[in-house]
Structure 1
Amino acid sequence: MAVLVTGSTGVIGKQVIEHLGGSGAEVRALTRTPEKARFSGGVTAVKGDLSDVDAVRQAMIGVSTLFLLAPNVADELTQAVQTLSVAREAGVKGVVYLSVFKGAEYVDVPHFTGKHTVERMIEHLDLPVTVLRPAYFIQNDVRQKDPLLSHGVYGMPIGAKGISMVDVRDIGEAAARELLRRERGSNPLPGETYELVGPDVINAQTVVSIWAEALGRPVRYGGDDLDVLEQRLKSVAPAWLAYDMRLMMGRYQQDGAVASSADVERLATLLGRQPRSYRDFAVAMAAAWAKD
């Protein structure tokens, strides 16, 4: 039997596949274009798209464990619910579902509410699922390279309340560990939930301090203007997605997304070490950018 990884060519999917490497598990990677996919040895590319139910049914044949990452699209909820239903019909014994930190609280943010609704399905049907709830990805801030280096500005309007940002490598490792635990179990295992969070509380003040130290130059915060954020995002993404991101940032500014020490320690137990810090990411990126 096999582990099927959805979202396999994206940032998180690649990390999951990398961390599954060398495990001995049969790994299949769902992708719309298997002919273009470049995976390491032992990973089989499988053609499919979560919006195509028949393709998902075909991809699920012979699969015992599923990593479900629904794409950030307008019908994300439909795709996720249908995929879980197909997996259930196919007899898949374990699932790892990528949800979101604070999904139950951010009720006005569409993709948060969608993921929380999927969690409700999992809970009400008592499905054998590990729910992973990642906070804002640290690596999203790779996109701050130009404003930081060209203008000395950190441009993401994260606000003053703080976010327990998480490293995508920790997400991939946590997912792989839970996939393998479920794959190796002789029977379906009870549900689990992990908040995937970093050890730091990153806000406007701490982020500019970290970057100033890492870059060895003054850095200022670009401000909390959500109109500017939305317009910038609309130049590279659909309007509905830009607005979704605006709503998310608005809630970060209003409420923050700070993890408890118990959340951090529970993730540390899963990983067998402390989660990676934002400071380490900034230092590594500054060094890499200096070589460009």
Structure 2
Amino acid sequence: MSILVTGATGTVGSLIIQRLAEAGVDAKALVRQAGKREFPAGVTEVVADLSDVASMRAALSSVRTLFLINAVTPDEVTQALIALNLAREAGIERIVYLSVIHSDKFTNVPHFTGKHTVERMIESLDIPATILRPAYFMQNDLMVQQTIQSYSLYPMPIGSAGVSMIDARDIADVAVAELLRRDRATSALERVTLELTGPQPLTGASVAQIWSSVLGREITYGGDDVAAFEEQLTSYSPGWLAYDMRLMMAGIQMHGMHSAEGTTAKLQSITGHLLRTYEDFVRESVAGN
């Protein structure tokens, strides 16, 4: 039996696959297209589509533990619910699901509410799972690094309520720890929910200041105009996705992204290391550019 990782070519999934391989675990990487990515030695590529029941049944047939992540798509909820139902059908009792922080609070944001729906299924059917609720990924800002460095402007309209961004590598470390904990248990474990946040809340202004410090020149915050943000995204993304992201940014400006006191210490206990700071992330990004 093995651990199946969906989204295995994505930001988090690829990190999880790498860490499982390093741990000598029998890991399977689910992909929609064969040969899209070279995986570490010992990792088995499994070709399947979350929207295709037959292929998912086959993919789950010899799996002990499942990591489930769903891309932001119009049919995200359908894909997730089908995968979880098929996992139950296959007798899988060890699951780690990647949701999002405040999925119950950002009720008008499609992909947040979609993930909350999936959480409700896990809870109502008492599925033995770890639900991971990450905040804004630091790696999201790689998409605007060129803009920051070329135009001295931080364009993400995250506002001033405070966002405790988390490094995707820390998300992967927690996910792997939970996958191994469940996989190695002699029986199904109780359901657990973990909020994943970084060590410090950040605002648009403080993020710009960190980039200024690292680059040695002034970087300004572009402001809170979510309409302009949507318009920019629409130039290279589908309209539904750009609007979803606009609604998310408006929610971030209103609510922020914060976790309960003691979360950082808890996550560091799980991973065995200090959580990465946003300044660490920026310095690495600039050095590698």
Task: Indicate the TM-score class for this superposition, using the shorter chain for normalisation.
Answer: over 0.9
Cα offset for 1:219?
0.7
1:223-277 deviation per Cα after TM superposition (whole angstroms, max 9, x unaligned): 1111111111112211111110000000111121122332222212211222111
Secondary structure of the 2:288 match is helix
Q: Which moved more, 1:257-266 or 1:245-254?
A: 257-266
Matching residue's letter, 1:217 = R
Aligned to 2:100: 100
Indicate the SS of the match to 2:106: coil
Q: Secondary structure at the match of 2:22?
A: coil
- CA distance in 1 between counterparts of 2:78 and 2:262 reads 33
- Deviation for aligned residue 1:186: 1.2
Kindly report the root-mean-square deviation, in angstroms, between the aligned alpha carbons of the 2 structures: 1.0
Distance 1:16 1:191 in 2: 21
Q: Which runs of 5+ in 1 are unaligned?
A: none
Distance 1:31 1:285 in 2: 28
How far off is 1:4 after superposition?
A: 0.3
Q: How does 1:88-167 map to 2 (within 5 A)?
A: 88-167=88-167
Is the 1:37–1:45 contact (alpha carbons within 8 Å) kept by the matching residues of 2? Answer: no
Decide whether the 8 Å contact of 1:194 with 1:266 is kept in 2: no
Look up the SS of the partner of 2:96 in the other structure.
strand
Instruction: Provide the residue aligned with 1:43 in structure 2.
Output: 43
User: Could you tell me which amino acid in structure 2 is paired with residue 22 of structure 1?
Assistant: E
Deviation at 1:63, TM superposition (A): 0.2
Q: Secondary structure at the match of 2:29?
A: strand
Give the aligned partner of residue 251 of structure 1. 251
TM-score (norm 1): 0.97
Q: Partners in 2 of 1:14 and 1:205 — Cα distance?
A: 32
Structure 2 distance, partners of 1:22, 1:281, is 23
1:49 match: secondary structure:
coil
Q: Give the alignment's TM-score, normalised by structure 2.
A: 0.97
Give runs of aligned pairs for residues 120-269 of structure 1, distance below 5 A. Answer: 120-269=120-269
Map residues 26-65 of structure 1 onto 2, 5 A cutoff. 26-65=26-65
- Secondary structure of residue in 1 paired with 2:131: strand
Distance, in Å, in 1 between the alignment partners of 2:35 and 2:204 is: 43
Asked if 2 retains the 8 angstrom alpha-carbon contact of 1:155 and 1:223, the reply is yes
Q: CA deviation at 1:200?
A: 1.0
SS in 2 for 1:131: strand
Letter in 1 for 2:65: T
SS at match of 2:44: strand
Tell me, which stretches of 5 or more residues in structure 2 are unaligned? none
Q: Which amino acid aligns with 1:9?
A: T
State the Cα distance separating 1:37 from its structure 2 match: 2.6
Query: How far, CA to CA, are the matches of 1:229 and 1:141 in structure 2?
Result: 14
Secondary structure at 2:212 match in 1: helix
Percent of aligned pairs sharing the same letter: 47
Cα separation, 1, equivalents of 2:36 and 2:116: 33
Aligned to 1:259, the other structure's residue is in SS state coil
